[in-house]
Amino acid sequence: MTAAVATPAHTRSPQDARAVARAEGWRRRAPLLPALIFTIVVTQVPFLVTIWYSLRSRNLLRPESDLFVGFDNYVRIAQDATFRQAAANSVVITLGCVLVAMLLGILLALLLDRPFAGRGLARTLLITPFLLMPVASSVLWSVAMLNPTYGLLNWTLSLVGIPSVDWTSTYPVVSILMALVWQWTPFMMLLVLAGLQAQPRDVLEAAAMDGAGWWRTFVSITLPQLRRYIELGVLLGIIYVVNTFDQIYIMTAGGPGTESANLPFYIYQRAFLGFDIGQAAAMGVVVVIATIIVATLALRLIFRSFDVRE
Amino acid sequence: MSAQTYTGPRRRGVGVALTTVTWLLALAFFFPVLWLAMTAFKQENQASSSPPTWVFTPTLDQFRAVIEGGSAVYVGNSAIATGVSTLLVLLLGIPASYALSIRPVKRVSDVLFFFISTKMLPVVAVIVPIYVIAGQLRVLDNIWTLVVLYTAMNLPIAVWMMRSFFQEIPVEVLEAASMDGAGLMRTLRSVLLPMVAPGIAATALICVIFAWNEFFFALNLTASRAATVPLFITSTMTSEGLFLARLSAAAILASLPVILAGWIAQKQLVRGLSMGAIK
């Protein structure tokens, strides 16, 4: 490329200049293309197929049933009370987990942002729930913690006289939230802690010199500084938690009945236990449309957080 | 909130109280993991006793049962799916993030938008056709199917992360390299890669964590031959009734690689989890 640029401009015809510019454009694009094409093929093509399936009545158990049915699958979704319940559960589980985990994460990050004996060890212990394999942590919660007979939570509650509760069948959504909040709090804590540690020390010292108390400093200096980090944590949390599957599959299997199914789990049930490909595909499309609406709003935030420059 | 703030006896009292609260919370959060580990060292009757057994003679029986109980196939599959997909992510992602930062293509933010939007696409929306297509191509229960999917799953995160590392390279370094007439591959190999090596390590760590822990694709697309470690845990859970101590040993062993890597690389973890947004 250096040779082409070094050629004095007045010796080239406009066509040459355009050809050079085009060649330079492709030279810049070449390293990007393998990743871009791979991602398009693996993520977008299946989605187009999903749209196609959603217009057909395909059922893997009845091969002869594969007919074009137009929007029938979508009409059935609109009438499907279980789908609405799963959608509501998705919202409750995602927002509940992200908000509670963020509040706890802020609290823990504030506590960790001061020097004390063994701070590194305390931080290491605190991030461990996030590092545990989600399937392992689901097993841990569904059996070791919440089992009605020998689970640790009921034993702890029995010490203060509260009778035994069958957590995963009586309060399935709450049980799932416990496991999820436990897993995601460290994630939020790490992000907020990074924000706290990026605070300009001189500003904090100046505030202390001016006699600003802890609360005053927190509200007028720390919180505005943290805002970007909190937004980022909430956004990434939503992206990950909305796809929650492991905890539900292992802890409640969506039950009792379909009481604790979220959309990923319900679609999984329709596709892999009911073999109803058309219906499951249509639900997938609806979820994507909803996601696009939420994401368009969210992406504005993310681009501000990441400071994307051209 | 610096150390100087806590002077005088009253301040020191507050400090001690805060430290105590912090430690109590840290121990409370860690306790379930500790309990899981303790259970793995128990005999089955101690593991599911009511009231819980606190004092016991540790045994390695459960770990032995897990290791000898056919877990090798699962570990091998997970190692292939994790290792190869992470390598592929780096192979595709490093040039791509170069083209989005150092010598940028046009419309960088559109491309970045596209990559991040694929992370927002719920996996359930594509699982049905992937299952049907994989069935037609006869690659169900094939570990290479998971390799391809895990590569696609992690590539967007990796592109975002590595772009943020590339952007930290001073312009002067690049100008010097191009003055010396170094081509793309030369510049990448001998100038850029050494500078972003820590960033690449952080990216690889995140890809390894997500691929090692992945359950949804593995559950739906594999059966016996290509099943990965998370499926070993669920199979321990369902096929043999409830052997809590053995289940705990399996859970601890399965989580150990990621826990150790995360403990060691805490700083890189933060940057990776924020996809490079937090330095």
CB contact under 8 A, A288 and B98: no
CA-to-CA distance for A147 and A170, rounded, in angstroms?
12
Which of A41, A65, A89 is where one domain is finished? A65
Q: Which two tokens stand for residue A260?
A: 């604790």
DSSP symbol at B104: P
Residue B262 lies in a domain: yes
Contacts of B113 in chain A (CB under 8 A): 299, 303
pLDDT recorded at residue A108 = 97
| CATH for A187 | 1.10.3720.10
Same domain, A41 and A127: no
Q: Which two tokens stand for residue A194?
A: 């990074």
CA-to-CA distance for B163 and B115, rounded, in angstroms?
12
CB neighbours of residue B102 within 10 Å: 20
Residue A27 lies in a domain: yes
CA-to-CA distance for A246 and A134, rounded, in angstroms?
7
CB contact under 8 A, A133 and B251: yes
Query: Mind telling me how many Å the CA of B77 is from chain A's nearest CA?
Result: 16
Identity of the amino acid at B206: I
Is the distance from CB of B227 to CB of B76 less than 8 angstroms? no
> Residues with Cβ < 8 Å from B245, sequence gap 6 or more?
B39, B40, B41, B42, B43, B44, B46, B47, B62
Among A143, A206, A149, A199, which Cα is nearest to A175's?
A: A143
Q: Is the pLDDT higher at B176 or at A227?
A: A227
Contacts of A133 in chain B (CB under 8 A): 212-213, 229-230, 233, 251, 254-255, 258
CB pairs under 8 A between A and B: 315
Q: Which residue, chain included where needed, has tokens 């236990």? A: A273
pLDDT recorded at residue A304 = 65
User: Least CA distance to A283: which residue of chain B?
Assistant: B125
Q: Which residue, chain included where needed, has tokens 């995160």? A: B157
Q: Which residue, chain included where needed, has tokens 């049905």? A: B128
Residue A265 lies in a domain: yes
Q: Is the pLDDT higher at B228 or at B241?
A: B228
Burial class (CB in 10 A: 0-12, 13-18, 19+), B250: buried
pLDDT recorded at residue A261 = 95
Helix (H, G, I), strand (E, B) or coil at B277: coil
CA-to-CA distance for A245 and A253, rounded, in angstroms?
10
Residue B56 lies in a domain: no
Query: Mind telling me how many Å the CA of A38 is from chain B's nearest CA?
Result: 7
pLDDT recorded at residue A306 = 61
CB neighbours of residue B116 within 10 Å: 22
Is the distance from CB of A299 to CB of A291 less than 8 angstroms? no
Query: Mind telling me how many Å the CA of A199 is from chain B's nearest CA?
Result: 11
CA-to-CA distance for A115 and B51, rounded, in angstroms?
39
Same domain, A51 and A173: no
pLDDT recorded at residue B8 = 65
Residue A161 lies in a domain: yes
Is the distance from CB of A176 to CB of A246 less than 8 angstroms? no
CA-to-CA distance for B37 and A134, rounded, in angstroms?
15
Q: How is chain A classified by DSSP, letter by letter?
A: -HHHHHS-GGGS-HHHHHHHHHHHHHHHHTTTHHHHHHHIIIIIHHHHHHHHHHTB--BTTBGGG--B-TTHHHHHHHT-HHHHHHHHHHHHHHHHHHHHHHHHHHHHHHHHTS--TTHHHHHHHHHHHHHS-HHHHHHIIIIIIT-TTT-HHHHHHHHTTPPP--HHHHSHHHHHHHHHHHHHHHHHHHHHHHHHHTS-HHHHHHHHHTT--HHHHIIIIIHHHHHHHHHHHHHHHHHHHTT--HHHHHHTTT-STTTT--HHHHHHIIIIIS-BHHHHHHHHHHHHHHHHHHHHHHHHHHHHHHT---
DSSP symbol at B105: P
Residue A72 lies in a domain: no
Name the domain count of chain A.
2
> Residues with Cβ < 8 Å from A151, sequence gap 6 or more?
A143, A144, A145, A167
Residue A73 lies in a domain: no
CA-to-CA distance for B88 and B111, rounded, in angstroms?
20
Q: How is A83-114 classified by DSSP, letter by letter?
A: HHHHHHHHHHHHHHHHHHHHHHHHHHHHHHTS
Same domain, A36 and A85: no
pLDDT recorded at residue A5 = 47
Contacts of B181 in chain A (CB under 8 A): 2
Residue B229 lies in a domain: yes
Q: Which residue, chain included where needed, has tokens 């819980």? A: B52
Output the average pLDDT for chain B: 88
CA-to-CA distance for B101 and B163, rounded, in angstroms?
6
Q: How is B52-77 classified by DSSP, letter by letter?
A: PP-S----SHHHHHHHHTTHHHHHHH
A68-91 as b/e: b if 16+ CB within 10 A? ebeebbbebbeebeebebbbebbe
Same domain, A133 and A262: yes
| Cα four-point dihedral sign A250, A261, A181, B209 | positive
pTM equals 0.89
Same domain, A51 and A182: no
Same domain, A297 and A202: yes
Same domain, A222 and A272: yes
Domain of residue A240, residue span:
80-306
Contacts of A195 in chain B (CB under 8 A): 278
pLDDT recorded at residue A309 = 47
| CATH for B117 | 1.10.3720.10
Residue A247 lies in a domain: yes
pLDDT recorded at residue B113 = 84
User: Least CA distance to A118: which residue of chain B?
Assistant: B23
Q: How is A212-224 classified by DSSP, letter by letter?
A: --HHHHIIIIIHH
pLDDT recorded at residue A132 = 96
Contacts of A109 in chain B (CB under 8 A): none
Q: State the Cα torsion B210-B198-A113-A242 to the nearest 10°.
A: -20
Largest Cα–Cα separation, chain B: 74
Largest Cα–Cα separation, chain A: 92
Query: What is the average per-residue pLDDT within B147-160?
Result: 94
Same domain, A180 and A248: yes
CA-to-CA distance for A176 and A173, rounded, in angstroms?
5
pLDDT at B3 > cutoff 60? no
Name the domain count of chain B.
1
Per-residue pLDDT of chain A (310 residues; tens, 9 = 90+): 444 444 454 556 778 888 888 888 888 888 899 999 999 999 889 989 999 999 988 887 777 777 888 888 999 999 999 999 999 999 999 999 999 999 999 999 999 998 998 999 999 999 999 999 999 999 999 988 998 888 899 999 999 988 888 999 999 999 999 999 999 999 999 999 999 988 888 888 888 888 888 888 888 888 888 888 898 888 889 888 999 999 999 999 998 989 999 999 999 999 888 888 899 999 999 988 888 888 777 766 666 666 554 4
Cα angle value A265/B155/A42 (rounded, 5°): 65
CB neighbours of residue B179 within 10 Å: 9
Residue B182 lies in a domain: yes
pLDDT recorded at residue B7 = 54
Q: Which of A2, A28, A43 to mutate to test the interface with B (most CBs of B within 10 A)?
A: A43
Same domain, A51 and A95: no
Q: How many residues does chain B have?
A: 279
Task: Give whichever of A191-200, B28-37, B64-73 has the largest mean pLDDT.
Answer: B28-37
DSSP symbol at B5: G
Contacts of A284 in chain B (CB under 8 A): 122, 124-128
Same domain, A147 and A211: yes
Residue B37 lies in a domain: no
Same domain, A26 and A163: no
Query: Mind telling me how many Å the CA of A104 is from chain B's nearest CA?
Result: 10
Residue A74 lies in a domain: no
Q: Which residue, chain included where needed, has tokens 């510019």? A: A21
pLDDT recorded at residue A131 = 94
Domain of residue B240, residue span:
63-273
CA-to-CA distance for B187 and B203, rounded, in angstroms?
20
Residue A244 lies in a domain: yes
Same domain, A58 and A135: no
Per-residue pLDDT of B184-200, as tens digits, reads 777 778 888 888 888 89
